[in-house]
Chains A and B, each alone.
Chain A
Amino acid sequence: MQPGHSGTDAAAALATVLAPGFLRKLDRLHLSVRRSLSTRPGNTPMPRGSQGSGIEIERHKAYGAGDDLRHLDWNAYGRLDELLIKTFRAEREAPLHLFIDASASMANPAADGKFAFALSLAASLAYVSVRNHDPVRAVAINAALPRAYVAAPFLRHRSALHSLRDFLLQLQPRGETALQPGIGGALIEQRAPGVAVVLSDFLVRPDVYEAAFADLLARRFTVAAVRILGPAERDPTRLFRRGQLIDAETGRQRFVTLTPDNLARYERALSEHLSHLRAFCNRCGIAFCVADTASGLDHCMFHDLPAAGLIH
């Protein structure tokens, strides 16, 4: 991918995120994971289920046929002459999947800076994740990509954050929104459940984003939806009074004059769009929040996302 026209904004936004002061503030945050935990890599899958490996002993149980003799408590056998098997509290991880909508709609209106905001939000969440020893990967989604998505490798350490930054900077918002094909394609490679955060403006018909979320929920992901919204999108009078509207993704045109009546109609349509998205998320147990680019990244990380229950 070639750097997009918003490359400068994105670089500035990422530089803000990766500034030492902001990272220190992010150190206090943790992802809230409810059910989507996976074993650490290296654990051998056994036919009867896995014996969790770890350091902290959970309990002892009587030896049974098929138990791993490596976990036999030889000291107890010496004192009690009884075969006991140590069971450990398993060390599990919550891989974080950051699905970034890189469609052309994210670049418009340019004054809103939605895409740069989404990148900075993704970088912040990635830092929070690796800071807590959970792997993270970023996945960019749009219809112009070969398989409707492009994914960065999992990152497991803070020192690898620069490669995530480079990946994010390579992204260019273009093409149409492709939530369902992009998310579905990215999940084929990584089947282990984890946390999925979808950063998008969700300017598609409800059935499109509902299908994408259904995919994630079916794979037992903890899902969060962040609706990126800018001030010009809330109040289009900042952009024009009368003009020819061009759909950034499809190129369709529409001549519109912002009469008070038309403005009210637009505001009602936006409100209904957000209400429907919020209602769906609530119904499906998806954490949801609206991130306003005008409020800033701080507000989003320390107010909106904690309020939605994604981080604490």
Chain B
Amino acid sequence: MIQFFEPLALVFSGLYGVLVLFYLWERWRRRIPVPSLLLWEAVREDNLRARRFRPDLLFLLQLLLLTSLIVGLARPYWQEHDGGQVGGRRIFILDTSASMQAREHNTSRFDDARNAALKQLRGLGAEDEVMLVTAARTPEVVVGFTRDHAAVETALLQSVATDTSGDLAVALAFTESARQRSDVPTAVDVFTDIPRSQLPAPFRESVRVFQVGESDDNLAIEGLQIYQGRFQDYRGARAYVRVENFAHREGHGFLTVRLEDQVVNRSGFTIPPRESRGFLVHNFPGPGRVIAQLEVADALAADNIAYGWIRPVSRARLLLVSAPSPLVDDLRALAAATPALELQVVQPDDYRPEQALHATVTIFHRVVPAVPPPTNALYIYPPGGNPLFQVSGDASNVEVLDWDEHHVALQSLRPLASLPLQRARIIAPPAWSETLLWSRTIEREFPLAFAGEHDGRRLACITFDLEAERLLSTDNVNFFLFFMNLLGWLTPEQADAAVVRTGDVYAFGSLPAQPVHVRDPHGALQTLPASQTTIQPLFAGEYRISSDGTGRTVLANFVDPLESDIGRASREPPVAPNAVQRTATERADAARRVPQNDYNGWLYAAALVLFIVEWAVARWIGAGRFAS
């Protein structure tokens, strides 16, 4: 049966009346003064009915042209079976990603999509089975195949859009497999704001898409980055907020950055279309939760807020086992200048393993103890014949030739290549380690630094003589940064709060073996079984995880430029799936059915042809009228 995707366009049918009125007016307006009616008395006068209205060929052509345009605007399409005329299965995929929260006039995309799904649901026959799948970051089967349409309707009404990015491909792959396994005709309806043409190609032809939403009016916080070094306290912390205007017109608003409830910075901004702007905020009054919030009147609110965390200072205690040397002096000076560092130096002969119990990291310079310390440890230029590392020789005047840029100790360090080193031990890296810096002699390649986890502790080894390089020399700032990063890696801190992205699975670690309570940003309380140690935040905001008095805080941010770019170039009408028919019965049915299609293109083409014909007819009549 013929259905209309835009039935409201049929209100333009009122233009028929306008056309008739125009003709009547034109007739009234067509008063022709003649010199005298003397010669016209012999001419037969029109009867009264013809005086009122008498359509001609041009009028009929214009009527057809208008009809083509109006029906074309209403976007008719052929629906083979509406509702439950053909018993079967229907899978509804409801997009619950963040962009579906976008406001469209007086409603939201999600409401439009849900209403479309409800309309389809209410049109199904009683024998039809329905499955409801919500698709956000990951798909979820809310209701399995059932004939209980009331339950599906209730589930639809209870569903909400999340603050996560969307991944329809997984949902489509899942439903495709469900459809292929089904032994009855199964159709898939997708209710989303993504145009059909942008769906993954393998599924594009096999589903019917009900697209909603057009607005591109969105300003979003594209990122909130807190810069705080491992040994820096809140005074050195800075926040960088990036705001992007996804609309195709200029965006205005205010950005407020708060630390808990205290406003740190409030800035007004104007951002050109499709561009972004960064804001650097510092001078935070203390540690805690940083909240960046946009005050804008845009269509999507979920990406107008972002959270960060400024750590309270956490002191690291270093136990340095070394003979007096320039490196000891350098580390003393470093500890004196860094409030979060405490340094204790002991001679190698005076070292006892129990001294390391209270240290965060033990540093062994040119010495390796017989018994590894019960802490994380850093070995610098270990001597040959030590019990921990296999030293196979020495090398001199070597250079850093390669490095592992992904390791946290080497991130953002450029350039390291060709840095000359005076002396280095050639040590075979243990199996538990990963090499951070490489060099080579004529014979072979060997590590200059490696790190890893061994026996539950973090260990690192610097094989070159750091003392000879003078750690605090301004010529070797890269080595200093490398050393501090490595120190930071060796002194992991217990985070009081974690900042994650919505939709990511977060492991909150071990809590007392009690049921875990999670309170989401909307205030809803959820109880997890004691065995579950992960959560997947679906909404932006603060999650409080607690169990038997022990708590964790998870700050979830919705930051996804693709999802925030809510503008859609055009709305595409539902199109018949070409590959819905899988079973033999369906193939036979398909041979008999008229394919479901969208006819507005044909109607526009017909309107164009009619326009040309009307123009030709008018020109022909005009030529006859004015022929001399």
B248 within 8 A of A: no
Assembly CA distance A239 to B39 (angstroms): 15
Chain B proximity mask over A129-161: 1 for CB below 8 Å, otherwise 0? 000000000000000000000000000000000
CB proximity of B26 to chain A, nearest CB, Å? 10
Decide: A256 and B43 in contact? CB cutoff 8 A.
Answer: yes
B620 within 8 A of A: no
Chain B proximity mask over A87-117: 1 for CB below 8 Å, otherwise 0? 0000000000000000011101110001000
A240 proximity list for chain B (CB < 8 A): 30, 32
Chain B proximity mask over A28-39: 1 for CB below 8 Å, otherwise 0? 000000000000
9-residue interface stretch from B46-54, B385-393, B467-475, B533-541: B46-54
Assembly CA distance A231 to B621 (angstroms): 18
Do A243 and B37 contact each other (CB < 8 Å), given the known contacts A262-B44, A265-B44?
A: no
Decide: A268 and B45 in contact? CB cutoff 8 A.
Answer: no
Decide: B34 and A269 in contact? CB cutoff 8 A.
Answer: no
CB proximity of B47 to chain A, nearest CB, Å? 9
B625 within 8 A of A: yes
Do A257 and B32 contact each other (CB < 8 Å), given the known contacts A237-B624, A247-B37, A266-B42?
A: no
Which B residue sits closest to A237, measured CB to CB?
Answer: B625
B45 proximity list for chain A (CB < 8 A): 254-256
| Interface residue tally on B, bucketed by range | 20 to 34
Decide: B38 and A262 in contact? CB cutoff 8 A.
Answer: no
A241 proximity list for chain B (CB < 8 A): 621, 625
Do A257 and B624 contact each other (CB < 8 Å), given the known contacts A203-B35, A244-B31, A244-B32?
A: no
Assembly CA distance A104 to B624 (angstroms): 28
Do A108 and B33 contact each other (CB < 8 Å), given the known contacts A254-B45, A261-B44?
A: yes
Decide: A108 and B34 in contact? CB cutoff 8 A.
Answer: yes
Q: Which of A205, A233, A238, A256 contacts B625 (CB 8 A)?
A: A238
Assembly CA distance A211 to B504 (angstroms): 110
A242 within 8 A of B: yes
Decide: B37 and A245 in contact? CB cutoff 8 A.
Answer: yes
Do A242 and B30 contact each other (CB < 8 Å), given the known contacts A108-B35, A248-B35, A265-B42?
A: yes
Decide: B625 and A250 in contact? CB cutoff 8 A.
Answer: no
CB proximity of B531 to chain A, nearest CB, Å? 90
CB proximity of A287 to chain B, nearest CB, Å? 23
Assembly CA distance A233 to B51 (angstroms): 23
Which A residue sits closest to B39, measured CB to CB?
Answer: A269
Decide: B32 and A239 in contact? CB cutoff 8 A.
Answer: yes
A246 within 8 A of B: yes
Assembly CA distance A137 to B315 (angstroms): 126
B39 proximity list for chain A (CB < 8 A): 203, 266, 269-270, 273
Which A residue sits closest to B51, measured CB to CB?
Answer: A255
- Identify which of residues 201-225 in chain A touch chain B, using a CB-to-CB cut-off of 8 Å: 201, 203-205
Q: Which of A108, A205, A254 contacts B40 (CB 8 A)?
A: A254
Chain A proximity mask over B316-327: 1 for CB below 8 Å, otherwise 0? 000000000000
A73 within 8 A of B: no
- Identify which of residues 223-238 in chain A touch chain B, using a CB-to-CB cut-off of 8 Å: 231, 233, 236-238
A205 proximity list for chain B (CB < 8 A): 38
Which B residue sits closest to A262, measured CB to CB?
Answer: B43
A9 within 8 A of B: no
Which A residue sits closest to B47, measured CB to CB?
Answer: A255
Which B residue sits closest to A258, measured CB to CB?
Answer: B43
B44 proximity list for chain A (CB < 8 A): 261-262, 265
A109 proximity list for chain B (CB < 8 A): 32-35
B568 proximity list for chain A (CB < 8 A): none
Which B residue sits closest to A268, measured CB to CB?
Answer: B42
Which B residue sits closest to A110, measured CB to CB?
Answer: B33
Assembly CA distance A239 to B45 (angstroms): 17
Assembly CA distance A255 to B46 (angstroms): 5
Assembly CA distance A204 to B33 (angstroms): 17
CB proximity of B438 to chain A, nearest CB, Å? 95
Decide: B34 and A201 in contact? CB cutoff 8 A.
Answer: no
Decide: A255 and B50 in contact? CB cutoff 8 A.
Answer: yes
CB proximity of A5 to chain B, nearest CB, Å? 12
Most chain A Cβ neighbours within 10 Å, of B34, B37, B38, B41:
B34
B628 within 8 A of A: yes
Do A246 and B42 contact each other (CB < 8 Å), given the known contacts A231-B628, A237-B624?
A: no
A239 proximity list for chain B (CB < 8 A): 32
Which A residue sits closest to B48, measured CB to CB?
Answer: A255
Q: Which of B28, B32, B36, B626 contacts A105 (CB 8 A)?
A: B36
Chain B proximity mask over A262-281: 1 for CB below 8 Å, otherwise 0? 10011011100100000000
A252 within 8 A of B: yes
Which A residue sits closest to B30, measured CB to CB?
Answer: A243
Decide: B43 and A246 in contact? CB cutoff 8 A.
Answer: no
Query: Can you give 15 A-B contacts (C-beta < 8 A)?
Result: A108-B35, A201-B36, A242-B54, A245-B31, A245-B32, A245-B34, A247-B37, A248-B34, A255-B50, A256-B46, A257-B46, A257-B54, A261-B44, A270-B39, A294-B628
Known: A104-B35, A255-B46. 17 other contacts (CB 8 A): A105-B36, A240-B30, A241-B625, A242-B30, A242-B46, A243-B30, A244-B28, A245-B32, A246-B31, A248-B33, A248-B34, A254-B40, A254-B45, A255-B45, A269-B39, A269-B40, A294-B628
- Which 9 pairs of residues, A with B, have the shortest CB-CB distance? A105-B35, A203-B36, A243-B30, A255-B46, A269-B42, A247-B37, A269-B39, A262-B43, A108-B35
